[in-house]
Amino acid sequence: MRVTWHNYAVAALLACGLWLLGAENHPILPIGSAAPDFALPGVDGKIHKLADYAASPVLVVIFTCNHCPIAQMYEQRIERLYQDYRDKGVAVVAIQPNAPEALRIDELDSSDTSDTLEEMKIRVAFKHLTYPYLYDGETQATARAYGPQATPHVFVFDRDRRLRYEGRMDNSYRVEMVRTEDARNAIDAVLAGKQLAVTHTGVFGCSTKWKEKEASRLEALKKLEEKPVTLDLASADDLRQLRANPGHKLTLVSFWGARCVSCLQQFAGLQATYRMYSVRDFNLVTVATNPPDERALVEKLLEQQHATSRNLLFASGDTAPLQRAFDAEWDSAAPYTALIAPDGRILYRKVGPVNILELRRTILANMESEYAGFNRYWITGR
């Protein structure tokens, strides 16, 4: 059965804990509790402490992350919240709670990066975010104290740093469907000294990736390593068909040479990209430009990289006709990379080393999706 984005999204959200399975192991901080202390590194290179925000009449702590597509839909909403309330004395602080070592690579299917501190810095630069963004992935001590169930999860504290509201930011990750601004309503009520009509709402998004999930990641990695590595010869007709890209999947084609240093340097990144997105409608095909009598060398390198993608080798030492069969304008050396849409359109073409982040963002911008917002997110840095 073809995996549509709708089917995939439902399965992913179920796996991510949309209904808060496992919450009993990591309970949410009860309403009325004092804000747990923290001292965490931020993307700005500084250590941020709870005491740093003591002068603010309201403190908003939002647990969010890089990899979750739902959290991505809220980045600009967090930014607007930060900008709209900073002159009112409200402190907004985002914390990344996930342990990167607990994330399976296929859980990065909607992201260009994982959730490490260095990758958080990449995301902030790409999306021009200015709110404090802190990293708790090393110990998760702060996350265990607050109990975020999914990303994003909002906690609103009053002047005495007592918890007044926790839950979702609003009722829908689709901005055009937002009808209830739960977090803003809570902040406004606390600022006005009023009782809150709603103190808790359920959250939706990807579940917190606790360190104890690392065993699941290792098991998934073991299964990946058990997949066979294959290599087939490619004729001119095979390459013409590859260029036409029949079927319904985005296809990334990487031409490389076994003695090409820049080819080998980017090979691992391309294989990681394939492992990230292969659960969706995405294929990677590597094509070695070596002559067929160098098959043993090519196979050795593929095994070293454990390249579980579809792998091809030029069927002839006369490379020019094979190059022209794929792209009549390609007369240079490898590496040569092309991303092809299901209708045969070239979405990305690069002679020379690729920028892996640029490539992944292009893939995500063009991946089949039933919500255009997921694609639009990757089109621009804004």
pLDDT tens-digit readout, 345-377: 999 999 999 999 999 999 999 999 889 999 999
> Average pLDDT over the chain, rounded to whole?
93
202 pLDDT more than 70:
yes
| pLDDT beyond 60 at 9 | no
Peptide bond into 36 cis (omega under 30): no
Question: Which of the 8 DSSP states describes residue 42?
Answer: B
Express each pLDDT in 258-269 by its tens digit.
999 999 999 999
Indicate if the pLDDT at residue 14 is higher than 60.
no
User: pLDDT, tens digit, for every residue of 131-166?
Assistant: 999 999 999 999 999 999 999 999 999 999 999 999
pLDDT tens string 16-75: 444 344 456 899 999 999 999 999 999 999 999 999 999 999 999 999 999 999 999 999
Q: Based on C-alpha coordinates, what's the Rg of the chain?
A: 24
Match 């991303």 to its residue by tokens.
339
CA 191-86-179 angle, 5° bins: 65
Range of 1-10, 77-86, 323-332 with top mean pLDDT: 77-86
Q: From CA 147, how far away is CA 83, in angstroms rounded? A: 26
Nearest to 311 by CA among 320, 323, 298, 322: 298
Q: Residue 201: helix, strand or coil by DSSP? A: coil
CA distances from 42 to 39, 79, 142, 158, 362 (A): 10, 16, 14, 23, 28
Percent of the chain past pLDDT 90, that is, above it, reads 86
Q: Looking at 93-97, 287-291, 366-370, 378-382, which range is the least confident one? A: 378-382
Contact between residue 274 and residue 309 where contact means Cβ atoms under 8 Å apart: yes
The one-letter amino acid at 245: N
**Number of helices and strands (H, E) in the chain?**
12, 15
* Range 4-18 average pLDDT: 45
Q: How far apart are CA 364 and CA 382, in angstroms?
A: 15
- What's the CA gap between 135 and 180, in Å, rounded? 29
CA distances from 25 to 62, 124, 149, 200, 212 (A): 20, 31, 10, 19, 11
Cα 303 to Cα 220: distance, rounded to the nearest angstrom:
19
In the Cβ-directed half-sphere of 208, how many Cα atoms lie within 13 Å? 32
Segment 318-325 shows an average pLDDT of 95
pLDDT at 7: 46
Residue 277 neighbours by CB under 8 Å, 6+ apart: 109, 363, 364, 367
Q: What span, in angstroms and rounded, lies between the C-alpha atoms of 95 and 63?
A: 5
Q: Could you report how far apart the first and last alpha carbons of the chain are, in Å? A: 36
Instruction: Quote the pLDDT of residue 220.
Output: 83
